[in-house]
Structure 1
Amino acid sequence: MNSTKIAVIGASGYTGLELLRLLLMHPQAELVCVTSRANAGKSLKQLFPRFTGAPGADLEFIAPDADVIAASGAEVAFLALPHGVAAEYATSLLERGLRVIDLSADFRLDDPAVYEEFYGAPHPAVDLLKEAVYGLPEIRSEEISKARLIASPGCYPTSIILPLLPLLRKGLIDPQSIVTCSMSGVSGAGRKEAIPLLFCECNESVRAYSVPKHRHLSEIEQELSIAAGEKVVMSFTPHLVPTNAGICSTTSAKLVGDLAEVGKALEEAYNDAAYVRLLGKGGCADTKNVTRTNFVDIGWDYDERTGRILLLSAEDNLGKGAAGQAIQSFNIMSGFSETSGLLNF
């Protein structure tokens, strides 16, 4: 069986850990390079004892250096790095002939001015923006298969964009009436020391954050605008909930088309999608059914009193919202089965 040599850059965070877990067991991926400046010299099994006994668990972390990464023989690099940092490595690794799947926000936006507005700094690699493919496999599979640089979508955007796109494309909802409230587990904030993320601060507590302008709004509005054929501006409020992982999003929008077409539009879009599970009218997505998987569950309903469609979705923020989706794109760009290394329940 053919395999592809893989590097994971920034492999010690929660997303990096999930990438490692999936890639170590992927039948067509050979992990040859993992980087972490703080953990250079340690093996995977030393830093993450859960991997002890897994093939490749003796691989040692190295400091991130583009020449050394390329010398490892890696053909594809996953970047699990903060925005602003990822672009530098993407540029260097592309120059050395690697294909890159970036899990940061650096290449998700088409407009560098929007990037600067939402991320507070000029875009670090403007020349690559036109080449980058927004890696939502259910929507851009053909482009992903030919890509050299994939911008893997954010966790919140995946849970919001997928339910909305079919309805916007069919003109079934008013694009200017969209309101979303989402809840995410604490791992979504990253693996870092911060008082608001301590157990005693998060446990038995729910709170909104990044109000009123979460950074993910930029890519959500971009993709919805493309689908609607007009500029979409929406309201989005994220909440932190006391779970390790999982995202639950509830989106509503004013119905302007035929109610009977809503379910049909979702089925037409996703009946053949490997990782979208449609729950139908009245189905309420539950994070317990998607954590540790690459599935996104989508249900919907109609509120007759307000004339609004309700879209209900759930995913794992580290799975379909990050590492799993990136590997799904890797499978497509490598010509492997889309489900290779990912069919877990």
Structure 2
Amino acid sequence: TVSVLYWLRPWIYASTMAVELQAGYSGCPIKLRKADPEDPAEEGVAYVVEKTSANLEYNKRLESQTSKLESYGKAMAGHSHIRCPRVLFRRHDEQGRLVIGMSFEPHTNCMEYLSTSLVGEVQAFTNVLINFMKSSVSASPLAPWSGEVFSSKLARFKQDAEANTVLGDRLPATLQMFDALIAFAKSRKEHQLPIGECHGDLTLSNMLVQSDKSGGRRIVLIDFQDSYVESPLADMAKLCQDLVYGWTMRFLPDDVNVDAARVYLIMSHMKREMEAAFADQQWYREYFQMFFAINQLRVLRYSQTADDREYLYESAAIEFNKWVSQPGNSAFGTTVPEQ
């Protein structure tokens, strides 16, 4: 993801050369370079991150993701402890691909920060994150989401899973889980969910920790993505991919050293804090577990190795079994093997 680029070490920052990386499943090229002093759009920044659309067909998605980044930037303008990079320009290259220029944000890797921070700092980080999600919920009133639309999106995820040959003998149980979730989605004409705007990829890898002028800390959110549903529930489920299953920990660069046991304890604490913050909401009690299971299944379909498959399948099965075991949900399916 783009976050890999943000983890580059300081010796790269001082380089006069541009650094190019290939980022994420989208395949969008990413480049970090020094700002051009002759370009008014880059005034006031030292380094620029350029993200280029993978192809012409991806232009629309990249534009949508950039608009979301700008929207969140405006919404966060009044918050002292959370922000996001500034969009500097939109341009097109000679092939017609969209190129987005963003401010580079000096930072500490989130996992390194959590590994070395004091108890009070951990709680402050957690509070900022919970307050961000509360703000997202406040900006996302309950609204009807069509059961037909919901089920059709799940059906497309199921088709993607069927096309992944890496799933092998895990495919039948994977399809069984999708069938149960689709049946539930179809069982209601409408689902009352908080609908608004969400980050789209709210993992710890997309959170940078930055020092402010007063010596305090703030979170910088990066790599906004489109989502199959614009709801805070999708962000909560995505975050728990990290807090419960350590997705970001699994893919840390080799040169990032963290106290893994400490970080996992901190992530468990953050999960409990999130549950406590929203447990009184009917939509959370009714839908969060389902969204968590859907999130793990969506990631499972991207498995590229047998190791990925087993790691992701187990997490999907565990969360699905929790959902299908909730009162009333057994009518739509049965538990699946977790091992």
TM-score, structure 2 as length reference: 0.30
More strand by share: 1
More helix by share: 2
